[in-house]
Amino acid sequence: MKPRQQRMLAVGLAALGIAIAAGLTLRAFQDNMMFFVEVSDVVAGNYPSERNFRIGGLVVGGSIERQEGSLDISFEVTDTACTIPVVYSGVLPDLFREGQGVVAHGRMGDDEVFQADKILAKHDEDYMAPEVADSLSKHQQDIADAAVAGAAECRSNDS
Amino acid sequence: MIPEIGQFALILALSLAICQAVLPLVGAHRGDAAMMNVGRSAAAGQFVFVAVAFACLTWSFIANDFSVLYVANHSQLSLPTIYRVSAVWGAHEGSLLLWIFILAAWTVAVARFSSGLPDAFAARVIGVLGFLSVGFLLFALLTSNPFDRLVPAPADGGDLNPLLQDPGLAIHPPLLYIGYVGFSVAFAFAIAAMISGDLDRRWAKWTRPWTTVAWMFLTLGIALGSWWAYYELGWGGWWFWDAVENASFMPWLIGTALIHSLAVTEKRGLFKSWTLLLAITAFSLSLLGTFLVRSGIIVSVHAFATDPTRGFFILTFLAVVVVGALVLYAWRAPALDSDVGFAPLSRETFLLLNNVLLVVATTLVLIGTLSPLIIEMATGGKISIGPPWFNVAFLVPMIPLVILLGMGMHAAWRTQAASPWLNTLKIPAIIAIILGVVIPLFGYGRISIMLVVGCAAAAWIVASALIPIIRSLRREKGTAGITRSALGMSIAHLGMGSFVIGATIVSAFGVESDRALQPGESIEVAGFEFHMKSLGNVQGPNFSAIEAEIEIRDDGEYVATVRPQKRQYLVQRSLMTEAGIHPGMDKDLFVALGDQLGNGAWSVRIQYKPLIRFIWLGALIMALGGLIAISDRRYRSTAKARDKVPLDSTKTAEAPA
C-alpha cells in the first residue's frame, strides 16, 4: 500500500470506529443515565416514574425499622425539608446508620414508598456524596427562610 | 526538626530540578557537552534530596510526630508500623511526594542506562523529565506541602482510613504510580525526538523497553487494585467502572496501543507520528488520572471549588504539558513520517486496527467517565452512568480486537500471502468453535450467544498464542528458536486469554445472594451448604471484631471453613467488613457479614465466583510477557554499545524486520 492510501485507510477506519462508538454511546446513554432527584422534588412529584433514579439525603434518626431476623428494612431519608420512606432488602453498607448521608438507587412504588435496589454510603465518614451535600445545604437555607416567613417546611403537591 | 529537614530537602530538590530542566536542553541546542552533562548529575542530586524528604516524612509517621499536620490527620498511636509507613501515601500530600520520588527514580534510571544514546538526545530526555519534576515539586511546595506543622500538636492522630489498612492497598499505589510515572519516560523520549526533529527506528528501540516496564507496573497495579476491591470493599465485585478505576484504565489502554505501535515503528519505521501522539496521550491521561482523582474534580465540579489554588495549579500544569506537547507535535511530526508502504494483508494492518480499536475503547471510557461532569456543567442536571453502559460499550471494540489479535499474530510484516496464513489459522479457529460450545455447555450447563463468543474468543487467543511456542519446541535441532520478544508477546496474549475466560465465566455463572443466617443454621447457595458454627468476638491491634465461623460443605463433604469479620476500628469508630474467602483456581467461595438482624441472626452476602482468579492471573501473565519481551538480547546491546552515529530518519527505515 502507498503511504497516502495508508493514511486514508487509517483516517477512514478511525472515523468509522468513532462514528460507531458515538452512535452506540448516544443510544445506550439514554437507557443508562440515572438522574439524581432531590427528596423535595420527589415529594412534589417531579421524578421519572418509568425508570430508576437516585435519591440522597440523611437517614432520619429513629426511622430505621427491621423485622426481626429478616433482611427487609425500612427507613426515611430527608433533605432536611422533606422526607420520604424507603424500603430495601439485603445487606447494608458499613457506614449506613441514622443521621448519616446515604444514596439510594431505585424507583418510586405506587404506595409513595421508594423501592431501593441499591444503597450506597461512602467509604469515609467525612465524605458525603456531592449531590447530597448540595441538596442538604440548599434546603437548610429553605428552612431558615421558611422560619422567617412562617411557611410550611415541605411543599408537597397535595398540600 | 526532621520535618524541616524534609522541607529543606524538597526546596533543594526543586533548585536541582530547575538546573536539570534548563541546562541540558540549552546545552543540547548549542552542542555544549559540559552543559549537557549537568543533566545526569543534577538528576542524581535531585533524587537524593527527594529521597531524604521522603525518608523524613516516613520518619515522622514512624515516630508519631503529630505536630506534622499530615501525620496527625492520617496516623494514630496504635496503628501498626507497617501501616504507618504506607500511610505516607495514604492521602493527597504524601502520594504527591511518592509520585515525585518515583519520577526522580525513573530519571536516575534513564540517566544510568542511557549511555548508548547520542549525548544530545539523552540530554533532552533528562531535561524534559527535569521540567516535569519542577512542575510537581512546585505543586507540592506551593499547594500541598506534606511537612506543614500543626500547633499545638494533638496527643493522638486521627488514624488512617481503615480501608487503607491492608497489605494489598499498601503496595497498590506505588505500583500504579511506577506505571503512571513510567509513561513520562516515553513522553520525554517523544518530546526529545520532536525537538531534535530526528526519529528513526532506533528511537523506537530505545523507547520500547521503558514503555513496556511502565506498562507492566501499571498492569500489576490495576490488577492489585481490582483484587483489593474484591476482598476488602467486601462486596465481591472485581471491576466497578468507577471514575477512579477508569482513570487508571485509560492510560493502560493507550499504553497498550503504544506498545503495539512502537513495534511497527521499530520493525518498519512506520506510524511514527502516531506513536508520538500515543506517547503524549498515555502520559497526559496518567496526569489527568492521578490529579483529577486526587483533587476530587472527577467526582464533582464542586470539589474543584473547595481548593481553588490546587485546582488552578493542576489545570495550568496539565495545560502547559498537554498543549505544549501538542503544539510541538503539530509543528514537528508531519516531517517525520517516511514513505514506506505495506500490503493490506500484513502485520502492519492488524496493528493499525489494534490501535484504532484501543483508542475507540479509551474514548468510550473517557466519555462515560466525564459525561456526568459535562452534563452537570451544561445543564445542572445530576446524572450517573452505570456499569451496564460501560459493559456494553466496552465490548463493542473488544470483540473485534480479540478476533484480530489471533489473526494479526500470524501475519508477516510488509506483506502476507493469504493461503498459508489461513492454513495456520484453521486449527485455532476449530479449537475456538469447539471450546466455545463445550466449556459453557458441559462445564457449566448453560449456553448463550455471549457465552459462546466469550469462551471461543478466549480459546482463539490461547490457541493462536500457543502456535509460535509449540513450533519453537518442535523445531529441528540447530535452527533458531523463538526470540524473547516473540515469546513475550505470546505469553502476554495468553494472559489476555486467561482474562477473557475468567471475565466471561464469572459474569455469566457467578452467584450472589443476600441471606439471613444465625449460629447453628445452614443455608444453600450455588449447590454449596454454608453452616454458621459460631459467632465470637476477636481483638485486633486497633480494632475489635465480631467473627463468624462458617463451614462450607459440598454434598455433605467438607470443603473449607471461612471466618468473615465485622470490624470496628477504635479511633475512627468506623465499621469494616472483612470477607471470608475460600479461594481456588476453579472458584472462590465468598462470605461477608452484613449486619445484625435481631434474634441472633445476621445478614450475610454469599457469593460463588467461578474462575475469578483467571482475571488477576491473566494480568500477572501479561506482565510476565512484558518482562520476557524486554529481556530480549537486542535491548541489552543498546545499553552497552555506545553509539555515536547521528540520528537519521531515512537510511535505516527500509532494513528488513
Tens of pLDDT, residues B269-328: 888 888 999 999 999 999 887 766 666 555 544 444 456 677 778 778 888 999 999 999
Instruction: Name the E strands within B394-451.
Output: none
Residue B78 has pLDDT above 70, yes or no: yes
The answer as to whether B619 is a domain residue is no
Quick one: DSSP state of residue B612?
T
Task: Report pLDDT for B302.
Answer: 40
Output the CA angle B542-B544-B550, nearest 5 degrees. Answer: 130
CA–CA gap between residue B294 and residue B92 (Å, rounded) = 6
Size of interface A-B (CB pairs under 8 A): 126
Q: In chain B, which residue's Cα lies nearest the Cα of A29? A: B389
Residue B649 has pLDDT above 50, yes or no: no
CA–CA gap between residue B56 and residue B61 (Å, rounded) = 9
Q: For residues B119 and B75, state if they share a domain.
A: yes
Contacting residues of B for A91, CB less than 8 Å apart: 514, 592, 594-595, 603-605
The answer as to whether B633 is a domain residue is no
Give the gap in angstroms from C-alpha A2 to the nearest C-alpha of chain B: 5
CA–CA gap between residue B369 and residue B384 (Å, rounded) = 9
B393 contacts A71? CB cut-off 8 A:
no
With an 8 Å Cβ cutoff, is B379 touching chain A?
no
Mean pLDDT to the nearest integer, B554-569: 92
Residue B586 has pLDDT above 50, yes or no: yes
Nearest to B219, CA basis, from B22, B482, B496: B496
Contacting residues of A for B384, CB less than 8 Å apart: 33-34, 36, 54
Mapped to the 3 state alphabet, what secondary structure does B509-570 carry?
HCEEEEEEECCCCEEEECCEEEEEEEEEEEECCCEEEEEEEEEEEECCEEEEEECCEEEEEC
Nearest to B269, CA basis, from A6, A23, A92, A64: A6
Contacting residues of A for B363, CB less than 8 Å apart: 18, 21
Residue B144 has pLDDT above 60, yes or no: yes
Specify the DSSP element, H or E, that contains B300. Answer: none
Mean pLDDT of chain B: 88
Cβ atoms within 10 Å of B202's Cβ, excluding its own? 20
Domain that holds residue B395: 170-333+346-402
Q: In chain A, which residue's Cα lies nearest the Cα of B604? A: A91
Task: Report pLDDT for A158.
Answer: 46
Chain A stretch 46-65, residues whose beta carbon is closer than 8 A to a beta carbon of chain B: 54
CA–CA gap between residue B327 and residue B207 (Å, rounded) = 21
Q: For residues B379 and B412, state if they share a domain.
A: no
Domain A39-149 adopts which CATH fold?
A: OB fold (Dihydrolipoamide Acetyltransferase, E2P) (2.40.50)
Question: Is the previous residue joined to B152 through a cis bond, with omega within 30 degrees of 0?
Answer: yes
Integer-rounded Cα Rg, in Å, for chain B is 27
CA–CA gap between residue B110 and residue B59 (Å, rounded) = 28
Mean pLDDT to the nearest integer, B86-110: 92
pLDDT-derived band of residue B657, with 50, 70 and 90 as boundaries?
Answer: very low
Nearest to B142, CA basis, from B324, B323, B316, B25: B316
CA–CA gap between residue B278 and residue B250 (Å, rounded) = 12
CA–CA gap between residue B298 and residue B51 (Å, rounded) = 31
Nearest to B159, CA basis, from B243, B76, B276: B76
Using a 10 angstrom Cβ sphere, with 0-12 exposed, 13-18 middle and 19 or more buried, the burial of residue B433 is middle
Q: For residues B135 and B62, state if they share a domain.
A: yes
Dihedral pair phi/psi, residue B520, rounded to 5°: 90, -10
Task: Report pLDDT for A28.
Answer: 72
C-alpha cell at B222: 490495576
Residue B160 has pLDDT above 70, yes or no: yes
Mean pLDDT to the nearest integer, A38-54: 87
Residue B651 has pLDDT above 50, yes or no: no
Quick one: DSSP state of residue B605?
E
Residue with cell 449447590: B527
Calculate the alpha carbon distances from B340 to A106, B208, B356 in Å: 57, 21, 20
At position B496, the amino acid (one-letter code) is M
Last residue within a domain, chosen from B160, B185, B204: B160
- Helix (H) and strand (E) counts for chain B? 19, 11
Kindly report the length of chain B: 657
The answer as to whether B341 is a domain residue is no
Q: Which candidate from A1, A25, A94 shows the least CB-CB separation from B342? A: A1
With an 8 Å Cβ cutoff, is B234 touching chain A?
yes
**Cβ–Cβ < 8 Å for B75, B84:** yes
Q: For residues B418 and B327, state if they share a domain.
A: no
CA–CA gap between residue A11 and residue B74 (Å, rounded) = 50
Name the pTM for this structure: 0.90
Chain B stretch 318-347, residues whose beta carbon is closer than 8 A to a beta carbon of chain A: 337-344
C-alpha cell at B374: 459535562
**Cβ–Cβ < 8 Å for B265, B201:** yes
Q: In chain B, which residue's Cα lies nearest the Cα of A13? A: B356
The answer as to whether B538 is a domain residue is yes
Residue A18 has pLDDT above 70, yes or no: yes
With an 8 Å Cβ cutoff, is A27 touching chain B?
no
Q: For residues B189 and B320, state if they share a domain.
A: yes
Most confident of A41-55, A108-122, B613-627: B613-627
C-alpha cell at B508: 455469566
Domain count, chain B: 4
CA atoms within 13 A on the CB side of B645: 11
Q: For residues B177 and B312, state if they share a domain.
A: yes
The answer as to whether B618 is a domain residue is no
Contacts of A156 (CB under 8 A, 6+ apart): A43, A44, A45, A82
Task: Report pLDDT for B487.
Answer: 95
Task: Report pLDDT for B650.
Answer: 39
* Distance, C-alpha B393 to centroid of its chain: 21
B582 SS3 class: strand
Q: Which candidate from B161, B389, B598 shows the least CB-CB separation from A29? A: B389
Q: Which candidate from A14, A29, A94 shows the least CB-CB separation from B576? A: A94
Mean pLDDT to the nearest integer, B338-345: 78
Checking DSSP bridges between strand A101-108 and strand A83-89, what pairing results, if any?
A: unpaired
Instruction: Name the E strands within B89-213.
Output: none
Residue B655 has pLDDT above 60, yes or no: no
pLDDT in tens, A57-103: 888 988 898 888 788 999 999 988 889 999 999 888 887 888 888 88
Q: In chain A, which residue's Cα lies nearest the Cα of B355? A: A14
Query: Which region among A119-123, B166-170, B531-535, B603-607 has the lowest average model confidence (pLDDT)?
Result: A119-123
Query: Which region among A18-32, B14-28, B239-253, B405-419 has the lowest average model confidence (pLDDT)?
Result: A18-32
Residue with cell 535531585: B46
Mapped to the 3 state alphabet, what secondary structure does B310-350 carry?
HHHHHHHHHHHHHHHHHHHHHHHHHHCCCCCCCCCCCHHHH
C-alpha cell at B353: 486496527
C-alpha cell at B21: 530542566
Give the gap in angstroms from C-alpha A86 to the nearest C-alpha of chain B: 18
Last residue within a domain, chosen from B373, B402, B431: B402
Task: Report pLDDT for B184.
Answer: 96
Contacting residues of B for A5, CB less than 8 Å apart: 341
Q: In chain A, which residue's Cα lies nearest the Cα of B366? A: A25
Helix axes B243-268, B201-232, angle to 10 degrees: 160
Mapped to the 3 state alphabet, what secondary structure does B441-485 carry?
HHHCCCCCHHHHHHHHHHHHHHHHHHHHHHHHHCCCCCCCCCCHH
pLDDT in tens, B427-457: 999 999 999 999 999 989 899 999 999 999 9
Quick one: DSSP state of residue A52?
-
CA dihedral in degrees (B305, B306, B312, B313; nearest 10)?
A: -160
Last residue within a domain, chosen from B472, B492, B509: B509
CA–CA gap between residue B229 and residue B237 (Å, rounded) = 7
Q: In chain A, where are the structural domains located?
A: 1-33, 39-149
With an 8 Å Cβ cutoff, is A23 touching chain B?
no
Mutation target among B163, B367, B595 for the A interface, most CBs of A within 10 A: B595
Calculate the alpha carbon distances from B268 to B355, B356, B517 in Å: 16, 19, 64
A92 contacts B595? CB cut-off 8 A:
yes
pLDDT-derived band of residue B641, with 50, 70 and 90 as boundaries?
Answer: very low
